[in-house]
Chains A and B, each alone.
Chain A
Amino acid sequence: GRKVPGITLRDVRFAILLDQTLACQVS
């Protein structure tokens, strides 16, 4: 298939890790 922007498992992993990383820092 063509290589185009999209949401992948790599992004999902990053989003979940980001939530975990910032859990103590957000208001």
Chain B
Amino acid sequence: EAPPPVKGWPTPWLTQDEFNHYMLPLYEHNWRTTIETQKQIQAEGTQSTHALGTFLEKTFAFDDSRSCFAALQSIHELCEKEKHHCEWTGGGRLDGKNAVTIPVCTHTAMRPEWPEDGS
């Protein structure tokens, strides 16, 4: 079940408890965590000082292009409702079918303070 809408800004990173509660079920639903690569950063033309982002990502497969584009429309509407920037990459294949990959992250999230004796 989805958590209620988040209020306030910036939003903090997931806590350990939130991670345990939400991320493990998401992994079971084929979501994965991945990290933005230097190649992607260069492709976006951002600075080398740009912080590396960890994001949630999932690839969705569709039987045909009609259902694929219908899904993109649904994603667009959800993005507007949730005030989420939408990014996606298409043209991929999953199990021999049309696939769309959706990365999800918060670009200006609040990182917790490191412990003073932490590395």
Binding site for B on A (CB under 8 A): 1-22, 25-27
Contact = CB atoms under 8 A, between A and B. Distances in A.
Q: Which of A6, A18, A25 has the most CB of B within 10 A?
A: A6
B75 A10 contact: no
A contacts with B: majority SS: helix
B84 to A, nearest CB: 5
B54 A5 contact: yes
A6 to B, nearest CB: 4
Interface residues of B, number: 50
Given A14-B84, A15-B26, A26-B71, A9 B61 contact: no
22 contacts: A2-B110, A3-B108, A3-B110, A4-B109, A5-B51, A5-B54, A6-B13, A6-B53, A6-B105, A7-B33, A8-B12, A8-B13, A9-B11, A9-B18, A10-B6, A12-B3, A13-B4, A13-B6, A18-B102, A22-B74, A25-B70, A27-B61
Interface in B2-35: 2-6, 10-14, 18, 22-23, 26, 29, 31, 33
A12 B1 CA distance: 10
